[in-house]
Amino acid sequence: MKIFVAVVVTVICFITACKNKQQQYINTHIQQQQSFPLKRVEPKKLNRLAINAKKYCKANHLNTNFFYLVDLSLHSGVKRFFVWDFTKDTITNSYMVSHGCYKNSWGRDYSKEKAMVSNDIDSHCSAIGKYIIANRGVSQWGIKVKYNLYGLDSTNSNAFKRQIVLHSWDAVTDKEVFPNGTVEGWGCPALSNNALKTIDEQLKKSSQKVLLWMVN
């Protein structure tokens, strides 16, 4: 009987020790995630890009009321798709947006801290540069709406061939998820369903093509 009691006590102690170690691991993991430096868009960088974007839009007969900026230098768990109002010289909206998964599995957030960029076909990366947001079409994702994107720079000239489009994705959230990241696809800038509904209404009202500029 004494031996049985001793065995039971030993098992209980072992289970308790394992639970304590598991909780310590979880607490440490949470602390490490929370300690990751949260970087926001830099005002000087934003203003500089906005000035250049306005000049570009004027010179190329694009919409001069607003443009869209995607800053891939930011952690994917924060809002980094910005609507810049040229008439007010300020951000009027910001949204979550996905980037390409590169060699990783899509639907995860492996490169949340640093997005890999490439213009290569089948790279599954996002490509930096200026885009014209072109014709509206039907998507198999999200709210079933997409806009074709035409790359205007050497860094994103293959966008149309790669079928890089602006669309929504059920897996992209409305709210920030930092320190987690936004799910990654094959290079398209995918928004949440609610975000694209708002963007779609704005684009449908525009009589001129709109600039989307992706930077890192």
Matching CATH number, 43-215, of 2.40.440.10, 3.30.70.1400, 3.30.460.10, 3.20.20.370: 2.40.440.10
CA-to-CA separations, 73 to 4, 45, 65, 87, 128, in angstroms, rounded: 61, 11, 25, 26, 11
User: Is the separation of the CB atoms in 192 and 95 below 8 Å?
Assistant: yes
pLDDT in tens, 196-209: 999 999 999 999 99
Average pLDDT of the chain to the nearest whole number? 88
For residue 4, pLDDT beyond 50: no
Nearest to 184, CA basis, from 124, 120, 122, 108: 108
Band (pLDDT 50/70/90 cuts) for residue 40 is confident
pLDDT, residue 30, reads 40
For residue 167, pLDDT beyond 70: yes
Enumerate the domain spans of the chain: 1-35, 43-215
Predicted model pTM? 0.82
* Alpha-carbon 52 to chain mean position: 23
pLDDT, residue 37, reads 61
- At a CB cut-off of 8 Å and minimum separation 6, what does 92 contact? 66, 83, 84, 85
Band (pLDDT 50/70/90 cuts) for residue 210 is very high
Separation between Cα atoms, residue 40 and residue 43, nearest integer Å? 9
Long-range CB contact pairs, 159-164, < 8 A, 24+: 159/119, 159/127, 159/131, 161/121, 162/121, 162/122, 162/127, 162/187, 164/126, 164/127, 164/188, 164/189
Separation between Cα atoms, residue 189 and residue 125, nearest integer Å? 10
For residue 12, pLDDT beyond 60: no
Band (pLDDT 50/70/90 cuts) for residue 3 is low
Band (pLDDT 50/70/90 cuts) for residue 179 is very high
